[in-house]
Amino acid sequence: MFSSFADWTIQSLIAFDVPDPTTGRRGAPNLTGNHAPNKNAFTMETVFSGIQPSGELHLGNYLGAVRNWVALQDTHTCFFCIVDYHGITQPYQPDEVSRFVHEMAIALLACGLDPDRCTLFVQSAVPEHTELAWALASVTPHGELGRMTQFKDKAEHHPDNINAGLFMYPVLQAADILLYGATRVPVGEDQRQHLELAREIVRRFNARFGETFLEPQPLLSTTPRILGLDGQAKMSKSLGNTIGLAESDSTIWEKLRTAATDPARARRTDPGNPLVCNIYTLHRFFSDEERQEVVRTGCTTAGIGCIDCKKMLLEGVTRDLGAIRTRAQMLRQDPARVERVLADGAFRARIIARATMERVRHRMGIGRPFAAS
């Protein structure tokens, strides 16, 4: 008997005796990467998270989730996934998908994902994701899916495109996580409800078919909900209120200049409250403590105006995003390298995904005796 899911996974990997795709060596591949084995790989908790290839990595995704992903790489066994099958639930252009996936991979690597310390891959390259989603659908209550806020929002905003994929979105998300036995899921606040449902699915599956999955928990960043430039709704590409990581400094300044601040500061002489201002939230990421203090005092005493505050913010944004843009530019010049990272990631992910599906099918009494060889 294996003491944990991770234990079972490792044993499965050894049993598979697959050659490592880059070294050709046989035996259990290093789960955290091929080149820099982490000594704790066998005891670390597993993290999974995903992002849609929407064509833009924006400050909401970055500050709400991806920065956390980067930080977790040293302490967890990490799987990060570009979820193209989730992406197709909303209107999209088929001829743009592969470019958007490639660009998202570049953006994630430029932000600091390191293929030596995490597994980065594309969802559709591991068909077990959609397979497990179907299996999980059979224990997912229909009523719960109908209560999902994101489903209701999307249905309200796109009444002409309320497809079954949108409805099933959280089931596929649960499958993503459960395939790898992940217990920690770094996401923004908007995904909390989907994770509650994933836990419910685990409980129902385990109750019906025996202990198989672990319940995943969300890992929220210090600012799990970044507002858009309008200061009203969360930053989101579909709302057109984003700052993209790849945008030029001049474009970013144009957007910041007109971005909403504390409404109490109608005039330059009106004092404000930084805690209700989205610009101050961004200062907390891009400015050091000394500058944050200048902003706090200046805002509450009306010693500085909102434009001064935004200019100070721009300096930090330019510095940090400039570094990311430079790394992205270098990666763009070597598309084969990016594709290799994704192929290698899919290879490693698939070994685990296959083993999990074997186990799930066995538990559910599906397949084996009739399977084609």
- Catalytic annotation on 154? yes
Choice between 177 and 299, CB closer to ligand TYM: 177
Binding-residue pattern over the window 189 to 208 for ligand TYM, x denoting contact by CB under 6 A? -xx-----------------
Residue 164-193 contact track with ligand TYM, rule CB under 6 A, x = bound? ---------x--xx-------x-xx-xx--
Q: How far apart are CA 199 and CA 195, in angstroms?
A: 6
Q: How far is the CB of 104 from ligand TYM (least distance, A)?
A: 9
224 binds ligand TYM (CB under 6 A): yes
The residue within the footprint of ligand TYM, chosen from 158, 199, 225, 255 (CB under 6 A), is: 225
Binding span for ligand TYM by CB under 6 A among 18-26, 46-54, 94-102, 299-307: 46-54
Give long-range contacts, CB 8 A cutoff, 24+ apart: 275-279: 277/231, 278/226, 278/227, 278/228, 278/229, 278/231, 279/306, 279/309, 279/310, 279/313
E-strand stretches of 171-231:
184-186, 217-219
Active site residue 152: no
169: left (phi over 0), alpha (psi -120 to 50) or beta: alpha
Identify the active-site residue in 237, 255, 310, 311: 237
Which has the closest alpha carbon to 2: 217, 216, 212? 212
* Assigned token pair, 122: 């594309």
Could you give the 3-state DSSP secondary structure of residue 168? helix
Tokens of 213: 């999955």
Residue with tokens 């929002």: 153
The interface mask with ligand TYM, positions 60-79, x = CB under 6 A, is xx--xx--------------
| Sole window of 58-66, 246-254, 269-277, 313-321 interacting with ligand TYM (rule: CB under 6 A) | 58-66
Residues near ligand TYM, by CB under 6 A: 48-52, 60-61, 64-65, 83, 86, 173, 176-177, 185, 187-188, 190-191, 224-226, 234-236
Active-site positions read 154, 234, 237
